[in-house]
């Protein structure tokens, strides 16, 4: 399989932007695609059963430092995606990535630059980035 970089993906998306070239169409389709990812995860749990969610409050030792907290957290997921649910999720996440790239294209943003800036923020701020 040929390696696909983000810029060539954004270029491919740009060539396909005909029907949803309006920023309003693009943002609403991005919301819809994101909702479909959420729905596919829910169906993997409720309809297929390949995943199970066992959620409860995250508990940490009282003496754990903030940087150690990741060692004590859980995803609340049990199981593994079956091939069918994996295919659906890959498709839905791909569609979401399409609309993210489309949004970057419409706003004249380079998706690789956006990703690089986020990577730099992560490198600089580390775990404090999302607090």
| Residues 54-92 pLDDT 10s | 998 988 888 888 778 878 888 899 999 999 999 999 999
5 domain residue, yes or no = no
The percent of residues in the chain predicted with pLDDT above 70, rounded, is: 92
pTM: 0.83
Domain that holds residue 19: 10-126
Does the structure show a pLDDT above 90 at 24? yes
Q: Where are the beta strands (DSSP E) in 9-113?
A: 51-53, 77-79
- 12 has a pLDDT exceeding 60: yes
Is pLDDT of 33 > 70? yes
Helical ranges in the chain per DSSP H: 6-16, 23-43, 83-106, 111-125
**Residue 108 maps to a domain:** yes
Question: Does 38 fall in a domain?
Answer: yes
User: Per the domain annotation, does 121 fall within a domain?
Assistant: yes
Say if 80 falls within a structural domain. yes
Report the number of distinct structural domains present in the chain: 1
Measure the CA–CA gap between 80 and 32, rounded to whole angstroms: 25
The pLDDT > 90 percentage for the chain reads 60
Q: Do the beta carbons of residue 92 and residue 33 sit within 8 Å?
A: yes
| Euclidean distance between the first and the last CA atom of the chain, given in angstroms as a whole number | 38
What CATH number is attached to the domain comprising 86? Answer: 1.10.287
Q: Is 1 domain-assigned? A: no
- Please provide the average confidence, as pLDDT, over all residues in the chain: 89
């Amino acid at each position: 399989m040929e390696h696909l970089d983000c810029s060539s993906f954004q270029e491919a998306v740009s060539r396909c932007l005909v029907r949803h070239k309006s920023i309003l169409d693009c943002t609403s389709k991005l919301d819809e695609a994101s909702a479909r990812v959420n729905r596919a995860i829910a169906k993997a749990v409720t309809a297929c059963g390949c995943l199970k969610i066992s959620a409860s409050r995250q508990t940490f030792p009282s003496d754990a430092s903030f940087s150690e907290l990741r060692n004590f957290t859980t995803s609340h997921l049990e199981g593994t995606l079956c091939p069918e649910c994996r295919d659906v999720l890959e498709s839905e996440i791909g569609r979401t990535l399409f609309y993210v790239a489309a949004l970057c294209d419409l706003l004249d943003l380079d998706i690789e630059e956006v990703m690089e800036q986020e990577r730099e923020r992560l490198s600089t701020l580390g775990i404090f980035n999302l607090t």
